[in-house]
């Protein structure tokens, strides 16, 4: 994306994550920060670095006439502007395509909001959206309360979706308004659950050990030491696993689904004969999708190539690998480093 200039009026996670993915791919991303800085700077340096490496920073008071004039000058020579704020703030600060087209007819304006630009200003933070869209109700043990994943899945997913929308509109060669809402993204990510309800009336529900709604066995299992994630989708996987684990019967997907409880009991009993690490070592060479449950530190220690250096920070690198291209991982910008 060398030569593509993107302006970001981002806050906290979704917006900054979207533009960081694009910066990793070579885009020139400039954060337009209020005089006292984008709020995530207050969370901590490593937090800010994890979402803002490789960007430029300009202090800009968008509530002032001078700031608006500077915004227009920047828009005139940019390809896109991405913002994640409340809809009323986005409009008040003039960060929509109708407001900015006077400076650049081909500017792509991407708005990340909770419920859409016309969806109101109700609070729409990640955890709130996960609760509102059914994600929390699907997560956790059925005997316990609804819970949440241990990371900001709604914000991160929305950031990636917004980056995709931005790129699509740039490729079109036309300027315009792109909207991506956290609510819509999470509905989209509940794809097969939503389809089962909308088309067959099947209501999704939580299952023990995070079991999959369709595939059996596909969940986390206790072992002699530690837990193992096992994901058996088709009959070939099952035949190989059953042979290694000494489990008889249930040869077809339909049988395993119809006799879920019996299958899970048999698999649980078999897996008790070895440790999670032992099963992983036995099953992976056979092509069976299985992994011992690790902590994040353990996983990162086992995957050093996923970690990059950006200035003084060690961070997880871009997940996008392109032949012949290597990201230039630069540190996050100091506030106003590239203009005031």
pLDDT in tens, 192-243: 999 999 999 999 999 988 999 999 999 999 999 999 999 999 999 999 999 9
| pLDDT > 70 in the chain, percent | 100
pTM of the model: 0.92
Chain Cα centroid distance, residue 147: 18
pLDDT tier at 255 (50, 70, 90 boundaries)? very high
CATH topology of domain 5-189+308-316: Rossmann fold (3.40.50)
Question: For the chain, where do the domains classified as CATH 3.30.1540.10 start and end?
Answer: 208-222+227-292
Question: For the chain, where do the domains classified as CATH 3.40.50.10540 start and end?
Answer: 5-189+308-316
Residue-wise pLDDT tens digits, 9-32: 999 999 999 999 999 999 999 999
Residue 277 has pLDDT above 90, yes or no: yes
Residue 257 has pLDDT above 90, yes or no: yes
> For 141-157, what is the mean pLDDT?
94
> For 247-257, what is the mean pLDDT?
95
> For 110-138, what is the mean pLDDT?
94
In this prediction, residue 220 carries a pLDDT of: 96
Find residue 80's DSSP bridge partners: 6, 108
CATH topology of domain 208-222+227-292: formyl-coa transferase, domain 3 (3.30.1540)
> For 33-59, what is the mean pLDDT?
96
pLDDT tier at 297 (50, 70, 90 boundaries)? very high
Pairing assessment for the beta strands 5-9 and 28-33 based on DSSP bridges: parallel
pLDDT tier at 59 (50, 70, 90 boundaries)? very high
Residue-wise pLDDT tens digits, 165-189: 999 999 999 999 999 999 999 999 9
pLDDT tier at 340 (50, 70, 90 boundaries)? confident
Residue 123 has pLDDT above 90, yes or no: no
Residue 327 has pLDDT above 90, yes or no: yes
pLDDT tier at 281 (50, 70, 90 boundaries)? very high
Pairing assessment for the beta strands 290-292 and 307-310 based on DSSP bridges: unpaired
> For 127-131, what is the mean pLDDT?
94
In this prediction, residue 278 carries a pLDDT of: 97
In this prediction, residue 227 carries a pLDDT of: 97
SS (H, E, C) the chain: CCCCEEEEECCCCHHHHHHHHHHHCCCEEEEEECCCCCHHHHCCHHHHHHHHCCCEEEECCCCCHHHHHHHHHHHHCCCEEEEECCHHHHHHCCCCHHHHCCCCCCCEEEEEECCCCCCCCCCCCHHHHHHHHCCHHHCCCCCCCCCCCCCCHHHHHHHHHHHHHHHHHHHHCCCEEEEEEHHHHHHHHCHHHHHHHHHHCCCCCCCHHHCCCCCCCEEEEECCCCEEEEECCCHHHHHHHHHHHCCCCCCCHHHHHHCHHHHHHHHHHHHCCCCHHHHHHHHHHHCCCEEECCCHHHHHHHCHHHEEEECCEEEECCCCCCCCCCCCCCCCCCCCCCCC
Judge whether 314 and 303 are in contact, CB under 8 Å: no
Q: Which residue from 56, 62, 73 is spatially nearest to 35, judged by alpha carbons? A: 62
Provide the CB-side half-sphere exposure for 173 (13 A, CA): 0
pLDDT tier at 252 (50, 70, 90 boundaries)? very high
Judge whether 336 and 57 are in contact, CB under 8 Å: yes
Lay out the sheet containing 5-9: strands in order across: 56-59, 28-33, 5-9, 80-84, 108-113, 176-181
């Amino acid at each position: 994306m060398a030569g593509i200039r993107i302006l970001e009026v981002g806050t906290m996670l979704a917006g900054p994550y979207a533009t960081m993915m694009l910066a990793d791919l070579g885009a020139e991303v400039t954060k337009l920060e209020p005089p006292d800085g984008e709020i995530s700077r207050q969370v901590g340096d490593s937090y800010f670095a994890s979402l803002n490496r490789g960007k430029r920073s300009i202090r800009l008071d968008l509530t002032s006439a001078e700031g608006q004039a500077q915004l227009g000058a920047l828009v005139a020579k940019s390809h896109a502007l991405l913002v994640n704020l409340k809809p009323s703030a986005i409009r008040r600060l003039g960060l929509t395509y109708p407001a900015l087209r006077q400076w650049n007819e081909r500017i792509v304006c991407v708005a990340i909001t909770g419920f859409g630009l016309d969806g109101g200003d109700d609070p729409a933070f990640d955890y709130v959206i996960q609760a509102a869209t059914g994600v929390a109700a699907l997560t956790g043990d059925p005997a316990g309360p609804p819970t949440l994943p241990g990371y900001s899945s709604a914000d991160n997913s929305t950031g990636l979706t917004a980056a995709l929308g931005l790129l699509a509109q740039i490729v079109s060669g036309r300027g315009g308004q792109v909207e991506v809402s956290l609510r819509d993204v999470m509905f989209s990510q509940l794809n097969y659950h939503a389809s089962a309800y909308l088309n067959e009336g099947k209501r999704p529900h939580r299952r023990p050990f995070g079991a999959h709604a369709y595939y059996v066995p596909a969940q986390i299992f206790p072992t002699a030491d530690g837990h193992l994630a096992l994901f058996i989708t088709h009959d070939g996987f099952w035949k190989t696993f059953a042979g290694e684990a000494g489990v008889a019967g249930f040869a077809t997907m339909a049988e395993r689904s119809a006799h879920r409880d019996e299958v899970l009991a048999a698999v649980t009993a078999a897996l008790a004969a070895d440790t999670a690490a032992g099963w992983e070592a036995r099953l992976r060479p056979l092509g069976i999708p299985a992994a011992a449950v690790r902590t994040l530190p353990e996983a990162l220690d086992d995957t050093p190539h996923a970690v990059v250096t950006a200035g003084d920070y060690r961070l997880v690198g871009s997940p996008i690998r392109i032949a012949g291209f290597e990201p230039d991982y630069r540190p996050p910008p100091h506030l106003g480093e590239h203009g005031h």
